[in-house]
A and B are shown apart, each in its own frame.
Chain A
Amino acid sequence: MRDVEKSWPSLADARHLGKRIDRIDGPVKVTGRAKYTFDVNRPNMLWAKFTLCPHGKAKVLSVDVSEATRVPGVVVAKELPLPGDATCHWHGFEVAVVAAETEEAAREGARRVKVEYEVLPHNVVDDTTDVGDWVDEGRSREQGEVDEAFASADVTVEGEYGCPIITHCCLESHGSVVEAKGDAKLEVWPSTQRISSIGNDFANELGLDPKDVHADCQHLGGGFGSKFGFDVWDKACAAIAEETGRPVKAMLERDHEIMVAGSRPSAYAKVKVAARKDGTLTGFDFESWGSGGPSRSGALRMPYVFTEVPHRRVHSNVRTNTGPNRAWRAPGHPQMAWLTMAAVEDAAAALGLDPLELFRRNLAATDRPDVYAEELDVAAGLIGWKEKWEPRSAKKGVVRRGLGLSIHTWGGRGHDSNARTTIHSDGRVDVECGTQDLGVGTRTVLAICVAETLGLPVEAVRVHIGDNRLPPSGASGGSTTVGGISSSSRTSAVDAVNQLIARVAPDLEASAEECAAAGGRIFVRSDPARGVAWAEACALIGQDPIVGNGRTDPELMNSGVGGVQMSEVEVDVETGVATMVKHVAVQDCGTIVDLETAESQVYGACIMGITSALFEERVMDPVTGRCLNPDMEFYRLAGIGDVGELVVHMMQTDAHHGRGVIGLGEPPVISPLAAIGNAVANACGVRVPRAPFTPRNVLSALAKGAAR
């Protein structure tokens, strides 16, 4: 038996783990003291702004920066390196950079750069495969006896569904502040999802020793997968900082950000479903396509969740001259969920079945039938499915309500992470980890894991992250952070506290194995009165603090989660306006570290998903190839008045708790689009095939439905 065990305490024994604990950096955030990259201002700093290509595709014939250099305050104006073909492949492609004493002067300078273009043929249309050479057909894949399934089906249902490219729209746009320190040393403040490794890219770019680049990112205004890169703006800042010896700041303007710094691939599909009268799904046939800009959009592995049903799928890639895709929270999954769940719901409607029943009947074709069954029950209870659900045909009146559902899955195994816990002789505790907080509560998770292990209050632990001098930790993507950092911090704290116990035990006339740390004391397990307070124990430490090192531990984490979401919407069939009434999210994620920040993740994901379902769409002009809505008036996000009532239920039983920590950032954003799309179909009585479910899309679906 160990003094303090590595394994997570049970739900009953845990003091902090799994409880509702306020985010420890809440106060610095709400008081505006938290410093984001956007807030970093260095003495004598220059601002950098970019000249962007105004065409869908164009060859750069010449760049003349002379007028820009004459703008008062402009210090540097220069052409940026272009690809080998000297061609800009999308509207917003960076052609030149201007650095100036003020943001306004830099902006003015960037406007004065004269670029001569030869405009080339482009394509920005992706909602059809009828785009000539711009489409690359994929290979067909098949699992099971698909033709037979369709030949012997009681019903086959066909539908076409889709969702457009949407952008990341992080609250804080992308950018960096870079400062050359002399002696070939560099200080950088990037807004990044990978603080431990981004310094190496800056070092490579300037030919420096990676050890001489210090990267710092204390707070990040969101990334959602769009901030892994070492981007044009980072490189430009580095080059200008080196050239001028002055700090340089580049933060993307909102239009620039919407056009180039993030996009989620579109996805469209013609779907056929074969089913038996009782609702058993027997076959799927997907003909899908989508675009992620000039590069590939990534195949869609459908059917989603109901993977055991025999199926055929083929995915084509449509190349468009739009800003390239970046990973968007649960890459591919929201699209796959929508294309699959919409077809399943339409099959239920065609069979005259309640889709909840049909989902239940087909759980055997999923990875985790029992979990889904339980979660479907919980969600149905929370939204009142039994009392409220009516078939499409029953809907009457001007304002109609409807219900819809979707289920989803995600991996979420922790990444490689290192952490260090230090206990000082005055009782102070520090935990250090080279991770980053995208706004999700990373600091709070570290404090909880260490406090739980040391038997201290959460406030007793000081957390240090966001710095590449700390023990390296992985990039925050794929919901890998919480598993990585909870296990590395836990093992580092176990190491530290066991060293402390080893020093204290002799004074307690016990062996280390007989001692425990809890309630701010170190004591003998069999005789808790025999013990010392934390401060007293630490006084024994002496001058050199106790340092505990830890790293990712597979036994403390796991992978594979499920979730069910149900939506209730109201559709005004005269105006086409769809509004959220209620949205229920039921989610498991193994051992929950902080119930409050876990719930917050799910709330945030639901809001992001509702936004994508009702509002978001990057609109491109087919004639000029330009983005028509690169601003927040026309690239619309939901406001608090648009999200309706949100209900979040985390699965927190002994069985779930006992699984180990699993990532949560992504899974809950997968189902909203599908659940809302199905609710809209149920309310309208006809399928609205294309997201977002804007008044126009809803009305035109209703008109088509009426004509039929």
Chain B
Amino acid sequence: MRTATAPLHLHRARSLDDALARLADAPDLRPIAGCTDVFVEANFGTLADRRFLDLWPLRDALGRIELRDDRLVIGALATYTDVLLSPLVRERLPILAEAAAAIGGVQIQNRGTIGGNVANASPAGDTPPVFLAVDAEVVLRSAGGERRVAYGAFHTGYRATARRPDELIVAIEAPPVDGRPFFRKVGTRAAQAISKVVVAGVRGARPAVAVGSIAPTVVRLPETERTLSRGAGRDEVREAVGREIAPIDDVRSTARYRRTVTANLVDDAFFGDR
């Protein structure tokens, strides 16, 4: 580990109120849930923070997956394993289970949380495209109260979000899905592979397409969606995808690969016979 751990300070949250009060007092306090992202920073020696707030003790309160007013509510501290074992997720949002199964390996699935994946705001994160495609909402709470942010407004830039430092994500809420959802992740191996391209969407009256790993944040493809909803053919749809995304070359993939494969995946989802 390249970051020295001795000077680090950890406070274990006793309750949600305790956690929110501490955050209100000390905005430099960094929340940690499963710590799977934060640990990577520590290992690379890029971890700047010194004071941490451990949310793991709040799993009872914030780790639940339930149905409220016909909306699927996923507690921020629900792990991928919780998602995989949840019959509600299987029934209401099976693509979230597909995404969870594709994340890291079993150890990461046991520790990594949905709230952490969303808050971490990596453009290559695997659950954001799912939430974006189904018009989910992020539920944020601070000592001052609760507010909701539409998923499309949550990721504001590269690794930047609408969350204020004194707020915690408490849940992600997904409305019922109107249509047949799909999810495809293209990594390089069966486990422990960050996505080269990740696509989620809904096939139905109002087609939705959300793509990760091709822009500074996860993005919807509105032009592609419009093209799809007016019943255009596959070539036109592929062209729309091509116009709408401008991926870059980086260590995980090339722009050309990402462009081609995003078009292939959208094509396959809406026109394929798989």
**Chain A hits for B274, CB < 8 A:** 398-399
Q: Please encode chain B, from 178 to 197, with 1 for each CB lying within 8 Å of some chain A CB and 0 for all others.
A: 00000010101111111011
CA distance A172 to B196 in the complex (A): 29
Instruction: Judge whether B39 is part of the interface by a CB distance below 8 angstroms.
Output: no
Q: CB < 8 Å: which of A636, A641, A696 contacts B257? A: A696
Distance, CA A576 to CA B272, complexed state (A):
16
**Complex contacts, A638 vs chain B, CB 8 Å:** 189
Bound Cα distance A399, B272 (Å):
12
- B229 interface residue, CB < 8 Å from A? no
A551 part of interface (Cβ distance < 8 Å): no
Residue of A whose beta carbon sits closest to that of B267: A574
Complex contact A634–B186 (CB within 8 A): no
- Whole-angstrom distance from the CB of B191 to the nearest CB of chain A? 5
CB proximity of B167 to chain A, nearest CB, Å: 31
* Interface size of B in residues (CB-CB distance below 8 Å): 26
Q: Find residues 123-143 in chain B having any chain A CB closer than 8 Å to their own CB.
A: none
On whether A104 and B194 interact (CB within 8 A), knowing A574-B264, A574-B268, A636-B188, the answer reads: no
Q: From residue A552, how far is it (CB to closest CB) to chain B in Å?
A: 42
B267 to chain A, nearest CB (A): 8
Q: Which of B234-274 contact A (CB under 8 A)?
A: 251, 253-254, 257, 260-261, 264-265, 267-268, 272, 274
Whether A639 contacts B265 by the Cβ 8 Å rule is: no
Name the A residues within 8 Å of B193 (CB-CB).
636
B68 beta carbon closer than 8 Å to chain A: no
Q: Does B204 contact A (CB under 8 A)?
A: no
Q: Which of B4, B190, B196, B257 contacts A639 (CB 8 A)?
A: B190
A696→B189 contact, CB < 8 A: no
A40–chain B nearest beta-carbon distance, Å? 21
Cα(A694)–Cα(B253), bound, Å: 10
The reply to whether A615 and B264 form a contact with Cβ atoms under 8 Å apart is: no
The CA of A629 and the CA of B196, in the complex, are separated in Å by 16
Which residue of A is nearest B186, CB measured?
A575
Contact among B2, B194, B261 for A576, CB-based, below 8 A: B261
Q: A628-645 CB contact bits vs B (8 Å, 1 = yes)?
A: 110001101011111000
Q: Is A608 an interface residue (CB 8 A)?
A: no
A606 smallest CB distance to B (angstroms): 16
Contact with B along A569-587 (1 / 0, CB 8 A): 0000011110100000000
- Does A107 count as interface, using CB distance less than 8 angstroms? yes
Q: Which of B192, B251, B260, B265 contacts A699 (CB 8 A)?
A: B260
Complex contacts, B272 vs chain A, CB 8 Å:
398
Enumerate chain B residues within 8 angstroms of A399, measured Cβ to Cβ: 274
Contacts of B2 in A (CB 8 A): 107
User: Any chain A CB within 8 A of the CB of B165?
Assistant: no
B261 in contact with A694 (CB, 8 Å): no
A9 an interface residue at 8 Å Cβ cutoff? no
Q: How far is the CA of A636 from the CA of B186 in the complex (A)?
A: 15
Q: How large is the interface on A (under 10, 10 to 19, 20 to 34, 35 or more residues)?
A: 20 to 34
B-facing residues in A638-695 (Cβ within 8 Å): 638-642, 694-695
Contacts of B261 in A (CB 8 A): 574-576, 695, 699
Q: Cβ of B268 and Cβ of A629 under 8 Å apart?
A: no
Q: Is B105 an interface residue (CB 8 A)?
A: yes
CB of B257 within 8 A of CB of A699, answer yes
Give CA–CA (A628, B249) in the complex, Å.
14
* CB of B95 to closest CB in A, whole Å: 17
Cβ of B189 and Cβ of A695 under 8 Å apart?
no
A695 and B190 contacting across the interface, CB-CB below 8 Å: no
- Contact yes or no, A398 B191, CB < 8 A: no
* Given A104-B4, A574-B265, A696:B190 Cβ within 8 A: no
Contact: A695 with B196, CB < 8 Å? yes
A640 to B192: give the CA distance in the assembly, Å: 11
Q: Separation in Å of the A672 CB from the closest CB of chain B?
A: 16
Which residue of A104, A629, A641 is within 8 Å of B251 (Cβ)?
Answer: A629
Instruction: Please determine whether A695 and B188 come into contact, CB atoms closer than 8 angstroms.
Output: yes
Given contacts A104-B4, A398-B274, A634-B251, contact A642 B190 (CB under 8 A): yes
Q: What residues of B have a CB within 8 angstroms of the CB of A629 in the complex?
A: 251
Chain B: CB-nearest residue to A575: B186
**Complex Cα gap A398–B260 (Å):** 15
A66-101 CB contacts (< 8 Å) to partner B? none
Which residues of chain B have C-beta atoms less than 8 A from A695's C-beta?
Answer: 186, 188, 196, 257, 261
In the assembled complex, the CB of A401 is this many whole angstroms from the nearest CB of chain B, namely: 15
Interchain CA distance A107-B44 in the complex, whole Å: 13
B263 to chain A, nearest CB (A): 9
Complex: A615 Cα to B192 Cα, angstroms: 13
Binary per-residue interface labels of chain A (359-401) against chain B in the complex, 1 for a CB within 8 Å, 0 otherwise: 0000000000000000000000000000000000000001100
Residues on the B chain within 8 Å of A636, using CB: 188-189, 193
**Chain B window 142-186, contacts with chain A (Cβ cutoff 8 Å), 1 for yes, 0 for no:** 000000000000000000000000000000000000000000101
- Complex Cα distance, B274 from A399, in Å, reads 9
What is the CA–CA distance of A633 and B189 in the complex, to the nearest angstrom? 11
Chain B: which residue is nearest A577 at the CB level? B186
Query: How distant is A270 from chain B, measured CB to nearest CB, in Å?
Result: 26
By a CB distance below 8 angstroms, the chain B residues around A633 are: 194
Considering only CB atoms, which chain A residue lies closest to B272 in the complex?
A: A398
Bound complex: CA A564 to CA B190 (Å): 27
Q: Quick one: which of B192, B194, B264 contacts A575, CB cutoff 8 A?
A: B264
Q: Contacts of A615 on B, CB cut-off 8 Å?
A: 188-189
Given A615-B189, A640-B190, A695-B186: 16 more A-B contacts, CB < 8 Å:
A107-B2, A398-B268, A399-B274, A574-B264, A575-B264, A575-B265, A576-B261, A577-B186, A614-B189, A636-B189, A636-B193, A638-B189, A642-B190, A642-B191, A695-B196, A695-B257
B interface, CB within 8 angstroms of A: 2, 4, 105, 184, 186, 188-194, 196-197, 251, 253-254, 257, 260-261, 264-265, 267-268, 272, 274
Pick the 3 closest A-B CB pairs, nearest first: A641-B190, A574-B264, A642-B189
Q: List 19 A-B contacts (CB under 8 A).
A: A107-B2, A398-B274, A575-B197, A575-B265, A577-B186, A628-B251, A636-B188, A639-B105, A639-B190, A639-B191, A642-B190, A695-B186, A695-B196, A695-B257, A696-B257, A699-B257, A699-B260, A699-B261, A703-B260
